[in-house]
Amino acid sequence: MDELGSPAVSHEERPWEPVENGMPLSRRARLASRGPYRAAVPAAIAHLDFALPGHVIAESTDALTEIARFDAELSLPGHGGEFVPLAAVLPRTESASSSQIENVTAGAKALALATLQEKAGANARLVAANVEAMSSAVDMAEDLSEQTLLAAHRVLMHGHADAQPGRFRDAQVWIGGSPFSPHTASFIPPHHDRLPAAMSDLMQFCERTDMPVLVHAALAHAQFETIHPFADGNGRVGRVLVHVMLKRAGATRRLTVPVSSGLLVDTAAYFDALTAFPAGDAAPIVQRVTEAAFAAVGNGRRLHRDILNCYEQWTQVVTARRDSAVWHVLPHLVSQPVVTVQFVQEAVGVSRTAALNAVNHLVKVGVLAPASAAQRDRVWGAGEIISALDEFAVRAGRRRMG
């Protein structure tokens, strides 16, 4: 490590040309939008030696141990003695929590419908895109690069042209203040001309192996948010980066720990930590991600128990023959608690008649119930799993009381 210092940004003046968008402005607003503004210039961190308190590093190491233990213990008993990993459930809980941080919310049923490409609201489609973006990025963890993040952004913001899907921004952005100019913003990320150098430095930082894994991931996330390389979707892609780095370091192998659900416990503290980082204090974001990891593991374990209880109850009420397709459907209901006959047919690899018979049996024993009033292209839901997922979200959204 070549340098000892802090991640504090410097600033540079940039000229501002008011954008004529036809919106009337008061005299005060026009005056406030004139003249140069000061944009952040991120510190180079590729070789920076972060001076963190010992207790912060120790707690992050303890949290990483809990993450690894959680990863090792989470699997779901399936029919025939097989083990069906719960890994498919957790990316959805993580994506829903990450989206909720950005005030994009969707319940478990709506998200499952969106995943099926059935009728769903805009928010559910955004969360479903977040699931896909995170899964694709984590799959590319071994080859982490700018292209990994661009690909995740392309999936996340597909259909949102203003967000420039899959491209780094080509204009100045800012946080807070007026929508007409950056002059009154609470934070102005670097000018887009500086993105190539800033992202190259961040990718070099991500290659380092000389710091604890969770510390490394938290700092990379904070630097990404400081750079703010996209026109939109920075928070969600930045939290994807945390999971990519955990997977790349071998801290997680089979699952995605829903760290964002832990951040949801106290979003104000999370945003304060992201603000402290470019001001030169790296400890708060490491502390916040560490606390989030502990909270996420605890909440995830509770979700695991709830789903396991549901699954065990299903196996007691299903009366079909042991070679019936019904038994092969049950594990799929954990990760996809809203289904159609076509989904069952394709997931299990049976005829449409066998799929319909399996659904009818599961409805008869109370595992599934109609999820819509439509008679054609009917949709069925596993209500107990949907409730368990929604209860996970409620626990994640609880704020600490002073």
Render pLDDT for 315-335 as a digit per residue (tens, 0 to 9).
Answer: 999 998 888 999 999 989 998
Question: Range of 115's domain?
Answer: 3-300
pTM of the predicted structure, to 2 decimals: 0.89
Q: Average pLDDT of 150-174?
A: 95
Q: Into how many domains does the chain fold?
A: 2
> pLDDT tens for residues 225-258?
999 999 999 999 999 999 999 999 988 877 788 8
Q: pLDDT grade, residue 139 (50/70/90)?
A: confident
Asked if 74 contacts 86 with a C-beta cutoff of 8 angstroms, the reply is yes
Residues 37 and 172 in one domain: yes
Assess whether 238 and 384 both reside in one domain: no
Torsional class of 340: left (φ above 0), alpha (ψ -120 to 50), beta (otherwise)? beta
Residues with Cβ within 8 Å of residue 30, at least 6 apart in sequence? 18
Contact indicator for 89, 335 with CB cutoff of 8 Å = yes
pLDDT of residue 184 exceeding 80, the answer is yes
Between CA 388 and CA 402 the distance in angstroms is 28
State whether 243 and 315 are in the same domain.
no
The reply to whether 241 and 373 lie within a common domain is: no
Cα 150-44-293 angle, rounded to 5 deg: 65
- Whether 102 maps to a domain, the answer reads yes
- Residue 80 confidence (pLDDT) above 50: no
253 and 335 in a single domain? The answer is: no
pLDDT of 192 > 70? The answer is yes
- pLDDT surpasses 80 at 76: no
Residue range 100-122: mean pLDDT, rounded = 86
CATH number for position 385? 1.10.10.10
Judge if 227 and 282 occupy the same domain: yes
- Please check whether residues 346 and 199 belong to one and the same domain: no
Query: Is residue 119 a part of any domain in this protein?
Result: yes
Residue 104 belongs to some domain of the structure: yes
Instruction: Identify the pLDDT of residue 22.
Output: 56
**Boundary (domain end) residue, out of 271, 300, 329:** 300
**Are 268 and 141 in the same domain?**
yes
pLDDT in tens, 4-51: 568 999 999 999 976 655 566 666 666 666 789 999 999 999 999 999
Q: Do 151 and 55 share a structural domain?
A: yes
Pairing of strands 83-84, 338-339: unpaired
CATH number at residue 99: 1.10.3290.10
For residue 77, pLDDT beyond 70: no
Q: Which of 300, 333, 354 is the last residue of a domain?
A: 300
User: To the nearest whole number, what is the mean pLDDT of the chain?
Assistant: 88
One domain, residues 258 and 381 = no
